[in-house]
Amino acid sequence: MKKAKLIACHECDFLQWETPLVENGVARCQRCNATLYRCLPATYDRSLALTLAAAVLFVVANCFPIVGLWVNGVLVETTLFGAAYSLYLDGMWPIAGLVFVTTLLMPALNIASVIYVLIPLHIGGLPQRSEIVLRVLRHVAPWGMIEVLMLGMLVALVKLQHIASVVPGVAIWAFGAVMVLLAAAAVTFNPRDIWARLDAVQGRGMPPALASHATQMTAARAGLFVCHDCGLLSKPLVHGHVGTCSRCSAALHLRKPNSLLRTWAFLFAAMILYIPAVLLPVMVTSTLFGAQSDTILSGVVYLWTSGSWPLAAIVFVASIVVPMLKILSLVYLAWSTQLRSPLIPHTRTRIYRAVERVGRWSMLDIYVITILVAFVQFGTVASVDAGPGAIAFGAVVVLTMFAALSFDPRLIWDAVEPEGE
């Protein structure tokens, strides 16, 4: 009979026993209601098939043009890599690098990691050094932004159709299919089950010292480390605030080192750069009649006045509202946590989850700029170049994501713990 396993919540550090679930069931933390784990059927074949299909279409998407533009009888086309390279040639290498990493490098690493892990499982074996690959997969997943890219392509198409006849390319459909396939593969891919299989093969079980710990307390109070990469709960060999996971070799800490300090540093940098990101032009359009500079807000106004008010609303929320609310939310979380406020920990934890989920959508404007710069290059007739505001805005997006990743939500609940125990 399978023994119950002691686990700790990643968001509040609360200790609890693993509970058997029905298929597709979800286990949630008793204290903060965070998702602990899901009971997914071990459908390695389905996940592998979806990921392999996504890999093939990802190659197609990067080999064919994303869109074509008819200008004076000439069809102008480019790939996504070509669009990023245009930014590089334009001197905007920080934006070019950001686009390359979030739309090409990270999705490719994600796909390759899943395939590397699942192929041996499909044939009845285990992947070599799978602990390293699973750790890589966990860290690259938040930075792959194919779904945001697709929305950016849609906004760019609306703007391009006012310049010339637009012909959607093979790549735009391929990227759409990749987005759907990766989402479906993520639903069926269960790293937790793979870690359990590795433990069974390697003969690793729960250390006897852990079985004696009662619940209704946090892992930190019990002197236990929870690994954020593989989820293993372990007891340090010696007393201290650091350790090494025996399963995946990740560094262990009772709390993220200098969590609030790093969060504040990223936040202050983001707040400083948010001002030029909003005020400086993100695009400069040059024509025979002169040059026009467009800020993020003027781009929203253009979409609204051209009749594309749904897209205008989406761009306004993603590029203006989300970065501002993310900064304000993180400032509130860091400030209240530093004061060790015990108030509304559930609400503050939900705010943290929302910040983690929505931050990536602020990349929307960066992708729109990338596509417009690549296509609207007609010499002295018309051209679009990225402005200095684009670099500042891209930095704000990255810095706020780093701030959210640096913040340790378990600190919220530390203030709720009774003193002197």
CATH of the domain at 373: 1.20.140
Q: What percent of the chain has pLDDT over 70?
A: 87
pLDDT of residue 208: 43
Q: Identity (one letter) of the amino acid at 124?
A: G
268 & 338 share domain:
yes
Query: Are 100 and 84 contacting, i.e. CB atoms less than 8 angstroms apart?
Result: yes
Reference 375, options 148, 168, 198; nearest CA is 168
Give a yes or no: residue 195 inside a domain.
Answer: no
- Mean pLDDT calculated for residue range 155-175: 83
56 & 35 share domain:
no
64 & 14 share domain:
no
Give a yes or no: residue 252 inside a domain.
Answer: no
- Band (pLDDT 50/70/90 cuts) for residue 182 is very high
50 & 33 share domain:
no
Give the separation between CA 355 and CA 187, rounded to whole angstroms.
22
Give a yes or no: residue 196 inside a domain.
Answer: no
Give a yes or no: residue 328 inside a domain.
Answer: yes
Give the separation between CA 295 and CA 277, rounded to whole angstroms.
8
Give a yes or no: residue 251 inside a domain.
Answer: no
Query: Are 231 and 192 contacting, i.e. CB atoms less than 8 angstroms apart?
Result: yes
94 & 18 share domain:
no
| Phi and psi at residue 133, to the nearest 5° | -65, -40
Q: Which of 123-127, 187-191, 376-380 ranks highest by mean pLDDT?
A: 187-191
31 & 59 share domain:
no
- Give me the number of domains the chain comprises: 3
176 & 212 share domain:
no
- Mean pLDDT calculated for residue range 296-322: 80
182 & 212 share domain:
no
162 & 212 share domain:
no
Q: Name the maximum alpha-carbon separation found in the chain.
A: 79
pLDDT of residue 86: 85
234 & 304 share domain:
no
Q: Is 59 helix (H, G, I), strand (E, B) or coil?
A: helix
Q: Which domain holds residue 342?
A: 258-421
103 & 72 share domain:
yes
179 & 49 share domain:
yes
- Band (pLDDT 50/70/90 cuts) for residue 105 is very high
